[in-house]
């Protein structure tokens, strides 16, 4: 079985984003970029399925600028077999990405598509569900456990009240949550090896997808800042404050 793993190049999760002074977006110039952490978990899960003998080939895909090649090389260094970059300098919304991924899935015929539940830049949490709809296939979102059994996959999902398990017919789409696994670091020899793994470059037009945005960003601003309040000296003072607030 082939696994398709879409990955996104985003601002590194350790970097605090700064809103541009003119309110047009977040300043990404000279900012460290990395693979979206949820997508790293997706790559790791695909590799584990390959190590278990469930998967035979892992294809990493990214939709983004030329530099997204670096993100794909990271996936290859972790253990993906080959990569496809759908290169564009435009910002592509989740719906556009899902349409491109549908085109790739039509060509590649994967048994599973595993991707992050959301990207930590736009926080949309849409692409996997949209891809599942476009492919007419089932979705296992917010996965904390994935088990392939014959022609189906069992997915344990993190839901509001706890956990829920669903069984999906393959091919299926799985989106990853944080507790699914802890991604490995790529070793130096594997980083070297990844440089010679195949990486194909395509364009959205190759899949007949119009990526013109449907949402127009009118403004981006900083959230309201909370001011630090007072410090109380001891528990008695805190009890008095809680009484003032009417909760004690």
Identify residues 122-141 at the interface with other proteins (CB under 8 A): 122-134, 137-141
| Nearest-approach distance from CB 114 to other proteins, in angstroms | 16
Distance in angstroms (rounded) separating the CA atoms of residues 211 and 154: 33
Distance in angstroms (rounded) separating the CA atoms of residues 4 and 156: 20
- Interface with other proteins in residues 90-129 (CB under 8 A): 93-95, 98, 120-129
Residue 135 CB partners (closer than 8 Å, separation 6+): 102, 105, 171, 173
**Interface with other proteins, residue 24, by CB under 8 A:** no
Cβ-based nearer residue to other proteins, 161 or 189: 161
| Nearest-approach distance from CB 23 to other proteins, in angstroms | 9
Of positions 9, 77, 177, 194, contacts other proteins by CB under 8 A: 177
Q: Which is it for the CA torsion 185, 153, 5, 9, positive or negative?
A: negative
**Interface with other proteins, residue 142, by CB under 8 A:** yes
Of positions 82, 158, 184, 197, contacts other proteins by CB under 8 A: 158
Q: Which stretch binds other proteins (CB under 8 A): 52-60, 67-75, 174-182, 194-202?
A: 174-182
**Interface with other proteins, residue 190, by CB under 8 A:** no
Distance in angstroms (rounded) separating the CA atoms of residues 112 and 3: 5
Please identify which residue in the block is written with the tokens 């296939």: 137
Residue 43, Cβ density class (10 Å: 0-12 exposed, 13-18 middle, ≥19 buried):
buried
């Amino acid at each position: 079985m082939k696994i398709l793993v879409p990955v996104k190049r985003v601002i590194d999760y350790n970097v605090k984003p700064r809103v541009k002074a003119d309110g047009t977006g977040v300043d990404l110039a000279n900012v460290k970029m990395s693979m979206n952490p949820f997508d790293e978990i997706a790559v790791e899960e695909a590799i584990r399925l390959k190590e278990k003998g469930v998967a035979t080939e892992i294809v990493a895909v990214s939709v983004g600028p030329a530099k997204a090649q670096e993100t794909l090389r990271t996936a290859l260094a972790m253990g993906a077999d080959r990569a496809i970059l759908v290169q564009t300098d435009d910002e592509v919304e989740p719906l556009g990405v899902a349409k491109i991924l549908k085109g790739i899935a039509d060509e590649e015929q994967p048994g599973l598509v595993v991707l992050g539940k959301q990207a930590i830049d736009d926080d949309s949490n849409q692409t996997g569900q949209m891809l599942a709809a476009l492919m007419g296939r089932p979705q296992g979102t917010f996965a904390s456990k994935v088990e392939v059994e014959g022609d189906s996959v069992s997915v344990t999902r993190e839901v509001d009240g706890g956990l829920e398990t669903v069984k999906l017919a393959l091919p299926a789409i799985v989106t990853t949550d944080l507790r699914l696994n802890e991604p490995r670091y790529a070793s130096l020899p594997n980083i070297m090896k990844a440089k010679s793994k195949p990486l194909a470059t395509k364009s959205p037009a190759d899949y007949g997808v119009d990526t013109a945005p449907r949402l127009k960003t009118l403004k981006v601003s900083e959230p309201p800042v909370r001011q630090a309040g007072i410090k109380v000296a001891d528990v008695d003072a805190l009890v008095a404050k809680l009484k003032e607030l009417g909760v004690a």
